[in-house]
Amino acid sequence: KALFANGLTQTVRPLDDQAVEVTVQAVRPDQPSSVAEPPSDVPTDADRQASTMLQSDDPAVRKMAAAVAAGESDAWTIAGALESHVKKSIRLKNYATAMATAAEVAQSLEGDCTEHAMLLAALCRVRNIPARVAIGLVYYPSASGFAYHMWTEAWIKDRWIPLDATLGLGGIGAAHLKLADSSLEGTSAYAELLPVIQALGRLRLEIVSVE
């Protein structure tokens, strides 16, 4: 099984048995202008419904979602507003938090990238936007290297669009390398981290070009 995910935001080209070239592009509702082929991973019920980790039926989560972009009907506008809201709302960037659920984060308003990602996914589901989390690596310029990261993907029109509530920039660029995605339904949250744990121990990454 390929280590890196292959899709609209990221394409993987094998170079040899030990190396691949990963090309990452920013995706928005109108960029690229069209999706060449129907996506094979369209949203399922698991991407829409409440789960044990992403409790979109929790009263605090629902109240928070309803208060953001109230009256707005455009899914992309709502998703961007929710992304910004989560960034501003999680005041304590607590890296000691161990995989809190969306409902727990809505109450504590603290956590690291996983808590940002799960709260945003749950909020999107409240507003009828299918959402899941993405698991992978992100480039940290200050460290000149990659580290574990989790972010959110929201289904807008005909595509999954990545959002990162730790940044709150209205989407992501090419600094995120995706290994897997999950609705976090019926699985152990820690099991979802296994691809990343395996990758961190064996990857050597080199940035070839940036446009």
Please state the φ and ψ torsions of residue 156, each to the nearest 5 degrees: -120, 120
Token pair for residue 170? 């209205």
Using DSSP, state whether 45 is helix, strand or coil: helix
Of 116, 148, 146, nearest to 133 by C-alpha is 116
At 107-165, the pLDDT tens digits run: 999 999 999 999 999 999 999 999 999 999 998 877 678 888 999 999 999 999 999 99
Q: State yes or no: pLDDT of 98 exceeds 90.
A: no
At 172-196, the pLDDT tens digits run: 988 999 998 999 987 666 777 777 7
Contact between residue 34 and residue 182 where contact means Cβ atoms under 8 Å apart? no
Token pair for residue 210? 């940036």
Using DSSP, state whether 55 is helix, strand or coil: coil
User: Whole-model pTM above 0.85?
Assistant: yes
